[in-house]
Amino acid sequence: MKKISVCLAAAALLGCTSASASEQSSNSVLGQRYNFYGGAQIYQAEGKFSLTKEGQPKNSVDLDDIGLDDNLTSPVFGALFNFGPKWTLRVDYFGYHDDAKTTADSDFDFGDVVVDAGAKLDSSLDLDVYVINLAYNLYSTERAKFGVGFGVHLADIDLEIASQATVGGVVQAEQEESINETAPLPNLYMAGAYAFTDRFLLRYGGGWMSLSYGDYDGDLVFANAALEYWPFQHAGIGVGYRYVEIEIDYDPGNKKEEYDVKLPGPMVYATVGF
C-alpha cells in the first residue's frame, strides 16, 4: 500500500497520467514535449501614429506618409513546451523594422515637427513584440489538443521622424521628433492542434483583450494557423498565416500618443522537436 501511494504521488507531481504516457508512446509529433521554430513572415503591414502635445490639434501619420514599407519580410521565432497532457506554454517573437528617406507628399504635423509638402523626411520604425501564452488543455489525445488560457504581448515601439525643408535653396534647420513606448498587453488565449497523420498536423491559436490601466488604453487581437510536415522524426517545416492588431493610447496628461499597428501575413519556418 505504501508503494502504491508513493507511485501515485510521483505520477501526480510529474504529470505522468495515462494520457501523457499514451502520447509519449505514440509516434505522432504532437506528443513531443518541446518544439522550437524559426523562419520569416511577409507582412502586409498597416500603421497609424499620432503624437499630440498639450494645446496642439490632433494629427496622425501612416506608414506611407513617412515612406516606410507596407510589404516587409521579417524574422520570426518561437517555442512550445508541453508540461504533461494538460499544460502548454508558447513563446513567440516577431517585429517590424524599417527606415526610409523620402520627400513629403503633403503637409502634416507630428508633435513639434511641422512638415511641408516637398520637405525631406528621414524616418524609422522599430517594433518588437514578445509573446508568452499559457494554456490549460481541456481536451488532449494522441491526435488532438485544445486549450484555453492567458498571456501577455509586450510591444516595444520606437518611431523617429526628422524633417528638413529647403526655402529659396537654403536648407533650414532639421526638426526631429521621436516616441518610444514599451507596453505590456495581457490577453486571453485559446489554442489547439490536430494531427492528420503522425507527421502532418495543423496548429492554430488566437485571442484578444481590451483594457485600461494607468495612463494606457490597449486593444489586442491576434490569430494564427499553420500546417506542419515532419519528414524526419525531430525536424519539420511549416507554412502558415498570422494576424496581429495592436492599438495603444498613452495619455500621461501633457501629451497623447496613439499607435494602431496591423501585421498580417503568411509565414514559413523550420521546426525541431523532442
- Integer Cα distance of 61 and 102 in angstroms: 14
- Integer Cα distance of 232 and 216 in angstroms: 47
Question: If DSSP codes are grouped into helix, strand and coil, which group holds residue 209?
Answer: strand
- Integer Cα distance of 181 and 158 in angstroms: 7
> pTM (2 decimals)?
0.83
pLDDT at 7 over 70: no
What are the tens digits of pLDDT across the range 188-216? 999 999 999 999 999 999 999 998 888 89
Which phi and psi angles does 43 have, rounded to 5°? -80, 145
pLDDT at 159 over 50: yes
All three cell numbers of 90: 508558447
Q: Region 239-263: what's the mean pLDDT?
A: 94
- Integer Cα distance of 195 and 164 in angstroms: 57
Q: 2-98+130-153+185-273 architecture in CATH?
A: Beta Barrel (2.40)
Q: Region 78-92: what's the mean pLDDT?
A: 94
In angstroms, the Cα distances linking 189 to 124, 132, 209, 238 are: 32, 10, 9, 22
All three cell numbers of 165: 525643408
- Integer Cα distance of 223 and 123 in angstroms: 30
Domain layout of the chain by residue ranges: 2-98+130-153+185-273
